[in-house]
A and B are shown apart, each in its own frame.
Chain A
């Protein structure tokens, strides 16, 4: 197989992991941000309506202000994406707080290179650092002992709704952040009386389809005619995207073939997208169960997002 310079993985190990996931029928969304998927994600995040449906900085900042955000802050940002949302948050924080240091924590190094460009351009005096982590595995953070100011961590943009195991991710974040820190967590809300189409409709775009399917393309699947179906899973309370694969992939001999049968499959369905919705009660119980104290929580004006301020005791 010739090397594809258009669709590629960030790390050699990602290909084996994706093929194992295909074999199991559920592909974690984290692969849709790394390697060539950085570009498809960026196109998605800058597409019409994406920002409006995923975050509202004014609501997030208002909730922080309501509890009196510290004058000086070190920010730890879990899943910063392409940095656009983060940059808006830091700009809004600057009205009342000084951010002395910023650390992005993400699975995707590719995307963080882009986030850094955004942050360097818009906040040239900000000290920007990055630490790699898979939020669904336990991890440690390296702290700067000279930083005396309080830490604010961010887990925004619906982060906890997009991981495979939101309880593990919440616990791992809790374990990693320093005691006494504040956190801003935002998730997508379950909308009372909404029908399935209301949840699914914002995702029915070619740009979203490309972003969701890019990890499969990087693995070598030809997907031009692949069926891609979006639906609302009532039991999981999640929007799910399922791709139907028509054929297997070949291996580059330089890659490590995984121990799975994904190279010899016929038709199969793989869940490639998952976005959970939460009720206020669910997210409150989740955050409290891992150890956080909830300082403030509520839905925004649209009723589509829940913002929570938490503290690690």
Chain B
């Protein structure tokens, strides 16, 4: 697993401000809670210690997908939308892997904190970035069929089964005909083989001893780690992912939402609490 040093610095900065930002910017949660502040406050801390899902687990796949789409498109200014961001990581992966000279990257999230995290990264590295604070389910008229590529990492398991079709259809509506949606989903139907990771920084109760040690290694004092510990405890208590039952469900969902399954691959990742199997997908708008 890789966390680039420049991302470490950004996540460290954001960790110190995340509770305040989430308190003022978070709105209605994707999970239907009154606020997603518990999620976005803890998120930079969790990313800093490699405790949660990240597109960098799938960097080789995204590298392949964005390169292949770039060569197929044949232009240096593809329009790419990141749907459901959590932070800046998916935009950063696109920036790192796309061979395009000037990709137009738009980050969409319904939460102002996620948008702020993305903008903070873009401003820090002087990377052009457009943002939209809105629900994935409500595309603007001018965004219909506007984008060449949509991308999101581990988004669909944030939604219960019945609503996934609507999410996929809304993403499809933003893609031009022939456009592609590149994403990953957790596959709960299969057990992942062991990968080389023995200690996890969090468990169901919150930070483990390793997690606390890792935060101390990043230079945080005891009282700051204690504050982070409570934020992480809230996250572990409230976080919920919905079951996704493998290739058959993905195939049906894609087909019923107007996509063709162009590429799917299975992979094992370290996972959040245990090794986890993911499906990596490239869906083509019919």
Give residues in A with beta carbon < 8 Å to B: 3, 5, 8-13, 35-36, 103, 109-110, 112-113, 116, 127-132, 140-146, 254
- Given A10-B64, A109-B64, A145 and B262 touching (CB < 8 A)? no
Which residue on A lies nearest to B68, using beta carbons?
A110
User: Within residues 94 to 145 of chain B, which ones have a CB less than 8 A from any CB in chain A?
Assistant: 97, 99, 101
Q: Is the CB of A142 within 8 A of B277?
A: yes
* Residue from the list A11, A35, A110, A146 in contact with B60, Cβ < 8 A: A11
Task: Convert B176-202 into 0s and 1s, putting 1 for each residue whose CB lies closer than 8 angstroms to a CB of A.
Answer: 000000000000011111100000000
Extra inter-chain contacts (4) besides given A10-B64, A130-B264, CB under 8 Å: A8-B99, A9-B67, A112-B263, A130-B263
Which residue on B lies nearest to A6, using beta carbons?
B71
- Given A110-B68, A127-B248, A130-B265, A12 and B97 touching (CB < 8 A)? yes
Q: Report the contact-size class of chain B (Cβ under 8 Å from the partner).
A: 20 to 34
Give residues in B with beta carbon < 8 Å to A: 60-61, 63-64, 67-68, 71, 74, 76, 97, 99, 101, 189-194, 246-248, 251, 261-268, 277, 282
Q: Is the CB of A10 within 8 A of B266?
A: no
Best-surrounded residue of B68, B76, B261, B265 (most CB of chain A within 10 A): B265
Q: Is the CB of A116 within 8 A of B263?
A: yes
Best-surrounded residue of A11, A142, A143, A145 (most CB of chain B within 10 A): A142
Contacts of B247 in A (CB 8 A): 127, 129
Q: Is the CB of B266 within 8 A of A131?
A: yes
Contacts of B68 in A (CB 8 A): 10, 109-110, 113
For the complex, what is the distance from the CA of A103 to the CA of B191, rounded to whole Å?
Answer: 16
The 5 closest A-B pairs by CB, nearest first: A140-B193, A130-B265, A109-B64, A142-B266, A11-B63
- Given A3-B101, A140-B193, A132 and B263 touching (CB < 8 A)? no
Q: How many A-B residue pairs have CB under 8 A?
A: 80
For the complex, what is the distance from the CA of A254 to the CA of B189, rounded to whole Å?
Answer: 39
Contacts of A146 in B (CB 8 A): 189
Q: Is the CB of A131 within 8 A of B71?
A: no
Contacts of B99 in A (CB 8 A): 3, 8, 254
Which residue on A lies nearest to B65, using beta carbons?
A109
Q: Quote the shortest CB–CB distance from A3 to chain B (angstroms).
A: 6
Q: Quote the shortest CB–CB distance from A107 to chain B (angstroms).
A: 11
Q: Is the CB of B71 within 8 A of A5?
A: yes
Q: Is the CB of B263 within 8 A of A113?
A: yes
For the complex, what is the distance from the CA of A187 to the CA of B68, rounded to whole Å?
Answer: 31
Q: Is the CB of B263 within 8 A of A109?
A: yes
Which residue on B lies nearest to A113, using beta carbons?
B263
Q: Quote the shortest CB–CB distance from A174 to chain B (angstroms).
A: 16
For the complex, what is the distance from the CA of A12 to the CA of B267, rounded to whole Å?
Answer: 20
Q: Is the CB of B268 within 8 A of A140?
A: yes
Contacts of A12 in B (CB 8 A): 63, 67, 97
For the complex, what is the distance from the CA of A103 to the CA of B267, rounded to whole Å?
Answer: 12
* Residue from the list A36, A113, A128, A142 in contact with B190, Cβ < 8 A: A142
A-B contact pairs, 21 of them (CB 8 A): A5-B71, A10-B64, A11-B67, A12-B63, A12-B67, A110-B64, A112-B263, A112-B265, A116-B264, A127-B247, A127-B248, A127-B251, A130-B266, A131-B265, A142-B192, A142-B193, A142-B266, A142-B268, A142-B277, A143-B190, A144-B190
For the complex, what is the distance from the CA of A63 to the CA of B47, rounded to whole Å?
Answer: 53
Contacts of B277 in A (CB 8 A): 142
Which residue on A lies nearest to B263, using beta carbons?
A113
Contacts of A5 in B (CB 8 A): 71, 74
Which residue on A lies nearest to B279, using beta carbons?
A129
* Residue from the list A13, A109, A140 in contact with B265, Cβ < 8 A: A109
Q: Quote the shortest CB–CB distance from B189 to chain A (angstroms).
A: 7
For the complex, what is the distance from the CA of A131 to the CA of B266, rounded to whole Å?
Answer: 5
Q: Quote the shortest CB–CB distance from A40 to chain B (angstroms).
A: 14
Which residue on A lies nearest to B277, using beta carbons?
A142
Q: Quote the shortest CB–CB distance from B66 to chain A (angstroms).
A: 10
For the complex, what is the distance from the CA of A213 to the CA of B193, rounded to whole Å?
Answer: 37
For the complex, what is the distance from the CA of A103 to the CA of B247, rounded to whole Å?
Answer: 12
Contacts of B189 in A (CB 8 A): 144, 146
Contacts of A103 in B (CB 8 A): 266
Q: Quote the shortest CB–CB distance from A163 to chain B (angstroms).
A: 20
* Residue from the list B262, B265, B282 in contact with A129, Cβ < 8 A: B265
Q: Quote the shortest CB–CB distance from B196 to chain A (angstroms).
A: 11
Q: Is the CB of A145 within 8 A of B190?
A: yes
Q: Is the CB of A132 within 8 A of B265?
A: yes
Contacts of A116 in B (CB 8 A): 261-264
For the complex, what is the distance from the CA of A143 to the CA of B99, rounded to whole Å?
Answer: 34
Q: Is the CB of B63 within 8 A of A132?
A: no
Which residue on B lies nearest to A141, using beta carbons?
B193
Contacts of B251 in A (CB 8 A): 127
Q: Quote the shortest CB–CB distance from B151 to chain A (angstroms).
A: 16
Contacts of B60 in A (CB 8 A): 11, 13, 132
Q: Quote the shortest CB–CB distance from A225 to chain B (angstroms).
A: 26
Contacts of B194 in A (CB 8 A): 140
For the complex, what is the distance from the CA of A35 to the CA of B194, rounded to whole Å?
Answer: 30
- Given A5-B74, A131-B265, A132-B60, A10 and B67 touching (CB < 8 A)? yes
For the complex, what is the distance from the CA of A144 to the CA of B251, rounded to whole Å?
Answer: 16
For the complex, what is the distance from the CA of A64 to the CA of B74, rounded to whole Å?
Answer: 45
Which residue on B lies nearest to A38, using beta carbons?
B68
Which residue on A lies nearest to B101, using beta carbons?
A3
